[in-house]
């Protein structure tokens, strides 16, 4: 069951997530290049219309793969249209998930959670699933927006991630954002 109704960014707002102004403020290549190497498997949870997903596919190269996951079929359809008949078509797998489960079977090297965790109602279950999906050496980049997510709410999210077995460290500087890097604890 989708328990997120009313909390998620609607498909009608996809244009505000992928446009030239955002590209100037939050350059996907600059943000992601330090975390994504050729050949890895990268997961974009809450990928929306694919602002970061396509750059992830560029960075993993022809030997890597990207899994884009979203609750909303309409968001995935926007990515499908963008990659049709491009080199990314075979590199990006798209998966529609349910609100209470990401539902990806394989373990991945890198997870991107960009502007989506505040939309997840049960963060305990969510981070437990992310911990299961991440390879022992993998990393998670979590980025939350400044206005909907207070400092206290972001710290609470990081505590929830800790309970799921993650340690966290300072993330990169990204305009208009709160960030952290999660790695599995020992």
Give the nearest distance from C-beta 24 to ligand SAM in angstroms.
15
Among 96, 2, 106, 13, smallest CA distance to 51 is for 13
Nearer to ligand SAM, 63 or 133 (CB): 133
Backbone angles phi, psi at 131, to 5 degrees: -60, -35
Binding to ligand SAM by residue 68, rule CB under 6 A?
Answer: no
Euclidean distance between CA atoms 121 and 126, whole angstroms: 9
**DSSP type of residue 16:** G
Euclidean distance between CA atoms 138 and 91, whole angstroms: 20
From the list 40, 47, 131, 140, which residue makes contact with ligand SAM (rule: CB under 6 A)? 47
Nearer to ligand SAM, 118 or 186 (CB): 118
**Cα angle value 70/75/80 (rounded, 5°):** 100
Binding to ligand SAM by residue 37, rule CB under 6 A?
Answer: no
Considering only 32-40, 69-77, 154-162, 166-174, which stretch makes contact with ligand SAM by CB under 6 A?
Answer: 69-77
Binding to ligand SAM by residue 119, rule CB under 6 A?
Answer: yes
Give the nearest distance from C-beta 153 to ligand SAM in angstroms.
15
Euclidean distance between CA atoms 112 and 34, whole angstroms: 13
Binding to ligand SAM by residue 92, rule CB under 6 A?
Answer: no
Binding to ligand SAM by residue 41, rule CB under 6 A?
Answer: no
| Beta-sheet strands, E only, within the chain | 41-45, 65-70, 92-96, 108-114, 134-144, 166-170, 178-184
Considering only 46-54, 81-89, 129-137, 170-178, which stretch makes contact with ligand SAM by CB under 6 A?
Answer: 46-54
Q: Where along the sequence are the contacts to ligand SAM (CB under 6 A)?
A: 4, 8-9, 17, 45-48, 51, 69-72, 75, 97, 99, 114-116, 119-120
């Amino acid at each position: 069951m989708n328990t997120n109704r009313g909390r998620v960014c609607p498909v009608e707002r996809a244009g505000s997530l992928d446009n030239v102004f955002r590209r100037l403020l939050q350059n996907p290549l600059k943000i992601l290049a330090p975390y994504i190497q050729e050949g890895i498997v990268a997961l974009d949870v809450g990928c929306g219309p694919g602002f970061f997903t396509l750059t992830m596919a560029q960075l993993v190269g022809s030997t890597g793969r990207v899994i884009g996951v979203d609750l909303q079929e309409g968001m995935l359809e926007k990515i499908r249209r963008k990659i049709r008949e491009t080199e990314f078509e075979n590199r990006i797998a798209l998966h529609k998930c349910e609100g209470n489960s990401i539902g990806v079977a394989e373990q991945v090297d890198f997870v991107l959670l960009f502007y989506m965790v505040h939309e997840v109602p049960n963060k305990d279950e969510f981070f437990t699933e992310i911990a299961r999906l991440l390879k022992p050496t993998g990393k998670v980049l979590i980025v939350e927006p400044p206005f909907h997510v207070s400092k206290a709410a972001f710290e609470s999210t990081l505590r929830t991630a800790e309970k799921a077995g993650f340690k966290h460290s300072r993330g990169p500087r990204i305009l208009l954002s709160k960030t952290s890097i999660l790695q599995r604890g020992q």
